[in-house]
Amino acid sequence: MSVVKWWTSVLLAVLACLQIARGVVTDTDAAAAVKFPDLYEASVLELQAGLDAGHFSSVDLVKAYFARIDEVNLKGAALRAVLETNPSALAQAAAMDKERKKKGKRSLLHGIPVLLKDNIATVASEGMNTTAGSFSLLGSVVPDDAGVVKRLRKAGAIILGKANLSEFAHFRGNLASGWSGRGGQATNAYFKNADPCGSSSGSGIAASIGLAAVTLGSETDGSITCPSSNNNLAGIKPTVGLTSRAGVVPISEHQDTVGPMTRSMTDAAIVLSVIAGKDPNDNFTLAQPRNVPDFTKALKTNALKGKRIGVPRHAFLNDSISGNDPFVNIIFEQALNTIRSLGATIVDPANLPSADEIINSNNENVVLDVDFKIQLNAYYEALLKNPSGVRNLADLIEFNNAHPDLEEPKGFQSQSTLIESEATTGRNATFFQSLAFDKELGATRGIDAALKAHKLDALVLPAPGFTTVPAGKSSSSKEVDHAI
C-alpha cells in the first residue's frame, strides 16, 4: 500500500505542477482574505480564509450555494445536476460556525459545503434520500452513513445535498450519461445539451459551475475521470481500497472507489486526505499499512524535476472514445510541453504491452456482472426500510418494467446490463479466471510493465470524452454507453 500512496503522490504532483504553471493554484492567491469570493472559482483555501477572517459564515455559504442551485438546477439553464438539498445543512453550518469561534477549525474542510453523488449513503434522519437515481430506492432507510461521509462529518464538513448521476452508476443499460429516473437528464454547463459524461455527472456539473465548494463522485471505470474531463475539473480516482466503499450503492468491490471532484488539485488533495483511510466495514481498506498522509504535501512546483513521464500512445490512439479527437490531441501536446518545461523527461511512446488485449477483452464485463448481482442484492437486503418493496436485482428489473413512466427516458427502453447481471450464477471458475486475467492485463503486463521497461515515475494520457456533442452520442452521432 505504501507503493500505491507513493504513486498517488506522484500523480498529485504532476497535476498540481500543471495547474501551478498555469497560475491556477498559488498559496498567495488562495490565502488572500476576500469579503465573499466568486463561487464559480472559489477554492477551499479561499473559503477558509474568509471564514477565519469573519468575512462570512458557513451559514452564509450554505445559503449562497442553495441560491446558486435554485438559480440554474431546474430553472434557467436547467442543468439538473442536483437531486435534492440537505434540510439539515443550515443547522450543521450553524454548529460549525459556533465551534469555529470557540475551538477553532477541525480541518481545512471545517464548515465547507460538500455535495455527494446520490449513491453515497446518508442517514435518513438527516432528511435526504440515497437512491442511485432510482425510484426503487426512494424513501429507503440505510443502516448508517457511508464510510466517507463519516470522515467528512468528523472533519467538520457540511453535507449540502445529493447530486444527480447516471442511474445505478450507469450499470443499467444503453442510456445517456447523466440520466436518472429521479433526476432526468443532467447536462454540461459549458455547452447546452452537451454530454457531461458519467456516471458522476451531477458531481461534475455542480463543481464546474459553483453549486458546491467540492463534490464527491465514485468510479468503477471512468466515472470520476471522464466527467472531470468534460466539466474542466481536477478529479482523482483513488486506488481501490484507499477510500471506503461502505454505504455506497455498489457495482463491484474489485473496482469501485470514491474520490474528489474539484476545481483545483489543491482542493482535490485536501478532500482526499480527509476521506482516505481504513474502515472496518470495507475489508479492502484494511490493506493500508499506516495512517493516510497529507496529500497536499505532494503539491510542489519542483516536484517534476528529474522525473520520467511516459506516454502510452497506443492505449489511447486506439480508444474509440477519445483517441483521434484533434482538439484533445492539441491540448494534450500542450500539456506535455508544460511538463517538459517543469523539468521532467517525456518518454514517448511508452506503450502498455497488453494494450490491444485490454481493448478487446471482455473479462471486466464478466467480473462486473457477477459482482453487481451479489452486492446489489446485499445492499437491498441491508436496508432498514424500502417502500418500493424491491429487495433484489430481479425485483428491480420488474419494478422498472412496471413503472416505465418513472424509469424509462422517452425513446429508450434499456435494462440490458441489469438483465445480463441477473442471469449470472455466482463467482465460479470463469469469474475468477476473468478477475485474474484483468489484473494481468492491467497491471502485470500493462501499467507495471510499461513503468519498469522505461524506468518511469508515472504515465500520462488524455481523459476520454467529447464536450461538444449531444448527451449520449459520440462525434459521429452514434449512441454510446459511457463510463460506469
Catalytic residues, by residue number, are 117, 199, 223
Can you give the C-alpha Rg of the chain in angstroms?
21
Residues forming a β-bridge with 116: 162, 216
Contacts of 176 (CB under 8 A, 6+ apart): 166, 185, 195, 409, 412, 471, 472, 482
Cα atoms in the 13 Å half-sphere on the side-chain side of 357? 16
What is the spatial distance between Cα 349 and Cα 49, in angstroms, rounded to a whole number? 44
Angle at 325 between CA 324 and CA 326, to 5 degrees: 105
Query: Does an H or E element contain 235, and which?
Result: strand 234-235
How many Cβ atoms sit within 10 Å of the Cβ of residue 40?
Answer: 11
What is the spatial distance between Cα 203 and Cα 227, in angstroms, rounded to a whole number? 8
Cβ–Cβ under 8 Å, residues 193 and 78: no
**Three-state SS for 403?**
coil
The residue among 43, 12, 15, 14 whose CA lies nearest residue 27 is 43
Q: How far is CA 365 from CA 8, 248, 252, in A?
A: 26, 20, 11
How many Cβ atoms sit within 10 Å of the Cβ of residue 230?
Answer: 29
Cβ–Cβ under 8 Å, residues 47 and 37: yes
Contacts of 153 (CB under 8 A, 6+ apart): 145, 159
Cβ–Cβ under 8 Å, residues 264 and 213: no
**Three-state SS for 195?**
coil
Contacts of 142 (CB under 8 A, 6+ apart): 121, 122, 123, 124, 130, 247, 382, 383, 384
SS3 content of the chain, % helix, strand, coil (to 5): 45, 10, 45
Query: Does an H or E element contain 19, and which?
Result: helix 2-21
The C-alpha cell at 372 is 453487481
What is the spatial distance between Cα 385 and Cα 370, in angstroms, rounded to a whole number? 25
Cβ–Cβ under 8 Å, residues 262 and 378: no
The C-alpha cell at 476 is 459521429
